[in-house]
Amino acid sequence: MAALRQERGWTQAALAERLGVTVKMVTYYEREATNPTAKTVAKLGEVFGVEPAALLDGAQSRRAAKPGPPSEWEKRIAAIKQLPRGKQQKIAEVVEALLKAS
């Protein structure tokens, strides 16, 4: 997030104004936040003009440097990867339907 902000020549105050939050919150997002809400990621994507997934990809890269136990989602994804392709496709369809409905 800090890199995107700096690429645009924005201060933390300028980003805070665009996001509608305090400078302290921007500092928190840039330095400490490891689990932003979907709403926060969506707003950041909107402000930076990038897909929210791109923001998460960067966070995932940073997290990769500090390996730890797999999260529950990582365990689920690993289990899904072990299923036959047909069952994987059915799970993907259910997930897509749920995402579209929300």
Structure confidence by residue, pLDDT tens digits, 53-85: 887 765 444 444 455 677 888 888 889 999 999
User: Within this chain, do residues 12 and 30 fall inside the same structural domain, yes or no?
Assistant: yes
Same domain for 89 and 56? no
Q: Looking at the structure, tell me whether residues 9 and 49 fall in a common domain.
A: yes
pLDDT > 70 fraction of the chain, expressed in percent and rounded? 88
32 or 92: which carries more pLDDT confidence? 92
Q: Which amino acid is at 80?
A: I
Are 82 and 54 contained in the same domain?
no
Residue 26 sits in the same domain as residue 55? yes
Q: Say yes or no: 31 and 80 in one domain.
A: no
